[in-house]
Amino acid sequence: MEFFYAIGFFSIIFSLGYAVFHLIRKKFFSPDKRFSKKIFYPFLIGGFLLCAATSPYTDQKTYAGENETKEQTAQIKELTSEKTSLSNEIKSLKERIQETNETLASVKTENETLKKENENLLKEKDKLAKDKKSAEKKLAGVQKNSAKTKQAQADKQTEAASAGQNKSSGSSKKTAEHSQECNIKGSVNKIYHTPRSTYYDRTKNVVQWFCSEQEAQDAGYRPPKR
């Protein structure tokens, strides 16, 4: 159909060109030449008829082309809008990625700090464990020495008690003997009284009897002040 429309269009152009050519030739070159209606009108009318017959198809094609152009324009607008939306999303994603990288860097730094603190705590823990073992060893040694000391003290006390009992029994015998043979009184206040002393007769709680003042002094007694 486009071919016939083109033939009609060129027929009209040819007829009009023929008319213009005839006018120019008649005016300037050959005034005697006659205008050929058999050439002019068939081409002119035939061209109009072909154009009229094929113009709806051409209009339809033009309309279809316009619709296609509109659709393409709409698609371009839609693609442009999608491009803008994608650009905004990409920008937002880049910002999120940057924030995520910053957060990761901060977390990494914090993790390294925590690792160092953990290492320091482990070192302190090991040190405390060693100090604890050392303290436990020292405590065990002290307890062992204390037990030995207590045992030694208990043994000494036992020996002292045994010796005291023996001495007490010996002293009681000696006191009994001295009470019969010696006349110097030894009081509970560690004072000895001779028969010449003022408090000789008043001293009733005699702890020990002595035969001489030297013996009383050797036993830790002192003479009275008067």
* Six-digit token string for 104: 């990761």
Residue 103 lies inside a defined structural domain of this protein: no
State which of 37, 58, 91 marks the end of a domain.
Answer: 91
26 closest CA partner among 34, 18, 16: 34
Residue 144 lies inside a defined structural domain of this protein: no
The CA distances from residue 30 to 23, 26, 52, in Å, are 10, 5, 36
Block means of pLDDT (10 residues each) for the chain, 226 residues, are: 79 84 79 73 82 68 72 91 92 93 92 91 91 87 79 67 47 47 86 88 88 92 85
What is the model's pTM? 0.31
> Total domain count for the chain?
2
Q: Domain span at residue 193? A: 182-226
Residue 168 lies inside a defined structural domain of this protein: no
State which of 35, 69, 91 marks the end of a domain.
Answer: 91
209 closest CA partner among 167, 180, 166, 168: 180
Residue 192 lies inside a defined structural domain of this protein: yes
Give me the pLDDT at residue 167, please: 45
Residue 124 lies inside a defined structural domain of this protein: no
State which of 91, 118, 146 marks the end of a domain.
Answer: 91
Residue 129 lies inside a defined structural domain of this protein: no
12, 47 contact by CB (below 8 A): yes
Sign of the alpha-carbon dihedral angle for 6, 11, 14, 19: negative
Give me the pLDDT at residue 169, please: 44
Give me the pLDDT at residue 62, please: 61
Give me the pLDDT at residue 76, please: 94
